[in-house]
């Protein structure tokens, strides 16, 4: 995690100046006419991945029959997946939002909050503990908004899994959000930040248990660190009210609820005071996310030659939804993809189903030897992925994955063969093929066969197997859990 430093002088300066988280329509036109094989693959939006049972090897080519069988396996068969790459399966991510509830009473007034210092950790660690003396690191936050010592302490602790600091000052009425990761055994969260127009006032969370799912909202009150006398003198306070960092008279009290601004000295209670909670902290569990790389393994034999991949249709969905099934007849949507790289019908079908979480189209074609990368998010009950794309210099050749289970964690790679949609005769004639070899979209002779493994380019028509053919696998998927 990148830590953002924030000096007290910058805090005062920023406060003074401050006060003076696309959708495409379904594709109906043919996207592949005039493809230039020398063009770069487009790094674009999202998704793809695959049934965990298929990740046991990183080199074997998956036969259509085996893929179809394994795709039917229960989700529970894959719960014990684990490895030493990427994000472990027990990892969770949370978005934490800190909202300043104090009243805005004018430029430099009320109580801006310093950038929060935060950590996920096990229950043996406490960033602060009400009723006990503040540590030097906590006192530095509470007196001068200096989180450097606390960050050093967190970074050296075996009890801490993730830690960092917010990106900026949080003014009254505004908020700041950051993400924190956890692992099994490190499911607690602590947060600390200063009320900068006080002597040693602070607030935050002390080792609270993170929610397993959904969101939790906590309104927090201000605490007195007990490490500095509450003189309320401008000469002792670092905030924009006063501009005196590193000053003040030390005291040796315990952490307790803050009494608020009394108005005994330079601070006006109506200007710098507050009533009730000073901040609202919202913690939201983020669902797992995966980085997916789709690589074209077919040989590059020249401009417009070999097998360019059309922009894929990719979707996350519940069990029971299928984009294609080996041994079954291709749906109308799959036929359109396999024959002419037309994604619209498949996108429309998946978009209208309550079993589908997300539907996307790749950002561009993938030429031989190139790849595209996507990101996919999942949710409970929506951990299956399907993807389909055309090998554009064929009659009705395609590849992809169907209703495969995303791995719980780590990184997996596997290779896959091409399929024949069985919806068009493999004439290999230029007048029947839409790709750059031929330029004849929406032609060909219909058939009524079932989806099966593609036999490759046989040279029975206009296509030379040495130019447009392939051996073995046509694509490689590499999936890494990133959240």
Q: Are residues 440 and 310 in the same domain?
A: yes
- Which helix H or strand E contains 8, and what residues bound it? helix 8-19
Establish if 471 belongs to a structural domain. Answer: yes
Q: For residue 104, which of 272, 323, 258, 264 has the smallest C-alpha distance?
A: 272
CA 164/CA 178 separation, integer angstroms: 9
Distance CA(117)–CA(144), nearest Å, equals 13
* Residues 6+ positions from 323 with CB-CB distance below 8 Å: 313, 315, 333, 334, 346, 350, 386, 387, 388, 400, 402, 403
Per-residue pLDDT tens digits for 122-152: 999 999 999 999 999 999 999 999 999 999 9
pLDDT at 440: 74
Handedness of CA 181, 89, 360, 291 (dihedral sign): positive
Domain final residue pick, 224, 245, 277: 277
CA nearest neighbour of 181 among 115, 81, 288, 91: 91
Q: Are 298 and 268 within one domain?
A: no
| Residue-wise pLDDT tens digits, 276-285 | 999 999 999 9
Tell which residue, 89, 83, 183, has the closest CA to residue 413.
83
What percent of the chain lies above the pLDDT cut of 70?
82
Q: Order of strands across the sheet with 279-286?
A: 175-182, 92-100, 279-286, 215-220
- Does this model's pTM top 0.75? My answer is no
Residues 131, 244 within the same domain: yes
Q: Which two tokens stand for residue 181?
A: 């990761």
Q: Are residues 291 and 273 in the same domain?
A: no
* Torsional class of 184: left (φ above 0), alpha (ψ -120 to 50), beta (otherwise): beta
Residues 347 and 239 in one domain: no
Domain contains 171 = yes
Q: Is the pLDDT of residue 2 over 80?
A: no
pLDDT the model gives residue 86: 65
Q: Is 34 inside any structural domain?
A: no
What is the secondary structure of 76-112 as a DSSP string? GGGTT---SSSS-TT-EEEEEEEEE-S---STT-S--
**Which of 230, 253, 277 is the C-terminal boundary of a domain?**
277
pLDDT tens for each residue of 83-113: 445 677 778 899 999 999 999 988 878 999 9
Q: What is the DSSP string of 175-186?
A: EEEEEEEEBTTB
**Domain tally, the chain:** 2
The tokens 């009890």 sit on which residue? 159
Query: How far is it, in rounded angstroms, from Cα 420 to Cα 297?
Result: 17
In a domain, 28, yes or no: no
Contacts of 319 (CB under 8 A, 6+ apart): 75, 384, 403
242 vs 9, 112, 235, 272, 369, CA distance in Å?
12, 13, 7, 12, 62
Same domain, residue pair 293 and 401 = yes
Predicted confidence (pLDDT) at residue 461 exceeds the cutoff of 50: yes
Structure tokens at 436: 């750059």
| Mean pLDDT of the 384-403 span | 93
Q: Residues 382-403: what's their mean pLDDT?
A: 93
> Does residue 22 belong to any structural domain of this protein?
no
Tens of pLDDT along 226-235?
Answer: 999 999 899 9
User: Is the distance from CB of 145 to CB of 116 less than 8 angstroms?
Assistant: no
Whole-number pLDDT of residue 378: 83
User: What is the pLDDT, as a whole number, of residue 323?
Assistant: 95
Other Cβ atoms within 10 Å of 469 Cβ, number? 18
pLDDT for the residue numbered 271: 92
d(CA 382, CA 450): 28
pLDDT at position 246: 73
Q: What average pLDDT does this structure show over 459-473? A: 92
Question: How open is the CA angle 31-35-37, to the nearest 5 degrees?
Answer: 140
Residue 327 lies in a domain: yes
Residues 293 and 264 in one domain: no
81 and 203 together in one domain: no
- CATH number assigned to the domain comprising residue 215: 2.60.40.2130
Say if residue 302 is in the same domain as residue 193.
no
Strands of the sheet with 475-481, listed across from one edge? 61-62, 411-416, 475-481, 289-296, 371-377
Least confident interval from 31-40, 98-107, 304-313: 31-40
Domain end (from 253, 277, 301): 277
Average pLDDT over residues 403-430: 89
- 405 neighbors 78 (Cβ within 8 angstroms): yes
Helices 148-155 & 136-144 angle (0-180, nearest 10): 150
Alpha helix locations (H) across 216-278? Answer: 269-272
Give kind and range of the element (H or E) at residue 155. Answer: helix 148-155
**Distance (Å, rounded) from C-alpha 5 to C-alpha 144?**
14
265 and 127 inside one domain: yes
Question: Residue 317: which domain range?
Answer: 52-87+287-481
Integer-rounded Cα radius of gyration of the chain: 29
Same domain? For 392 and 343 the reply is: yes
**Phi/psi zone of residue 390: left (φ > 0), alpha (ψ -120 to 50 degrees), beta?**
beta
The answer on pLDDT for 9 being more than 90 is no
* pLDDT, tens only, 41-68: 322 222 233 323 322 222 333 344 333 3
Same domain, 374 and 474: yes
Among the residues of 323-438, which ranges form H helices?
332-340, 344-351
- Mean pLDDT over residues 326-335, rounded? 95
Residue 23: partners with Cβ closer than 8 Å, 6 or more residues away: none
Q: What pLDDT was estimated at residue 207?
A: 94
Angle at 77 between CA 71 and CA 79, to 5 degrees: 120
Is 26 a domain residue?
no
Six-digit token string for 149: 């010592």
Phi (first) and psi of residue 350, to 5 degrees: -70, -35
Residue 450 located in a structural domain: yes
């Amino acid at each position: 995690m990148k830590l953002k430093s924030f000096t007290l002088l910058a805090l005062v300066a920023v406060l003074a100046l401050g006060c003076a988280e696309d959708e495409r329509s379904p594709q109906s036109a043919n996207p592949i006419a005039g493809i230039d094989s020398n063009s770069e693959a487009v790094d674009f939006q999202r998704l793809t991945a695959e049934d965990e049972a298929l990740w046991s090897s990183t080199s074997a080519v998956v036969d259509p029959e085996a893929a179809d069988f394994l795709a039917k396996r229960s989700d529970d068969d894959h719960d014990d997946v684990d490895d030493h790459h990427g994000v472990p399966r027990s990892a969770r991510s949370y978005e934490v939002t800190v909202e300043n509830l104090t009243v805005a009473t004018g430029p430099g007034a009320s109580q801006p909050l310093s950038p929060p210092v935060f950590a996920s950790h096990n229950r043996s660690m406490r960033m602060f503990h009400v009723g006990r003396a503040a540590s030097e690191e906590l006192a530095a936050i509470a007196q001068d908004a200096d989180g450097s010592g606390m960050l050093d302490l967190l970074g050296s602790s075996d009890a801490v899994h993730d830690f960092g600091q917010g990106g900026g000052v949080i003014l009254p009425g505004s908020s700041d959000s950051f993400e924190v990761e956890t692992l099994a055994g490190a499911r607690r969260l602590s947060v600390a930040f200063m009320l900068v127009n006080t002597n040693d006032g602070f607030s935050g969370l002390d080792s609270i248990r993170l929610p397993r799912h959904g969101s939790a909202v906590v309104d927090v009150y201000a605490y007195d660190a007990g490490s500095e006398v509450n003189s309320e003198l401008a000469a002792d306070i670092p905030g924009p009210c006063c501009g005196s960092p590193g000053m003040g008279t030390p005291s040796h009290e315990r952490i307790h609820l803050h009494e608020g601004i009394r108005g005994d000295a330079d601070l006006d209670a109506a200007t710098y005071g507050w009533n009730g909670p000073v901040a609202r902290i919202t913690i939201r569990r983020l669902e797992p996310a995966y980085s997916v790389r789709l690589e074209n393994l077919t040989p590059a034999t020249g401009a417009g030659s070999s097998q360019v991949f059309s922009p894929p249709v990719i979707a996350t969905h519940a069990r029971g939804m299928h984009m294609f099934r080996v041994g079954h007849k291709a749906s109308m949507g799959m036929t359109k993809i396999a024959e002419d790289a037309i994604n619209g019908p498949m996108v429309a079908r998946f978009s209208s189903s309550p079993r589908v979480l997300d539907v996307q189209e790749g950002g561009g074609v993938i030429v031989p030897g190139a790849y595209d990368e996507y990101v996919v998010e999942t949710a409970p009950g929506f951990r299956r992925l399907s993807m389909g794309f055309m090998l554009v210099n064929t009659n009705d050749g395609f590849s992809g994955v169907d209703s495969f289970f995303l791995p719980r964690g780590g990184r997996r790679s596997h290779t896959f063969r091409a399929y024949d949609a069985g919806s068009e005769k493999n004439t290999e004639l230029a007048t029947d093929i839409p790709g750059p070899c031929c330029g004849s979209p929406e032609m060909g002779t219909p058939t009524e066969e079932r989806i099966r493994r593609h036999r490759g380019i046989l040279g029975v028509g206009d296509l030379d197997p040495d130019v447009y053919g392939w051996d073995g696998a046509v694509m490689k998927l590499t999936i890494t859990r990133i959240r």
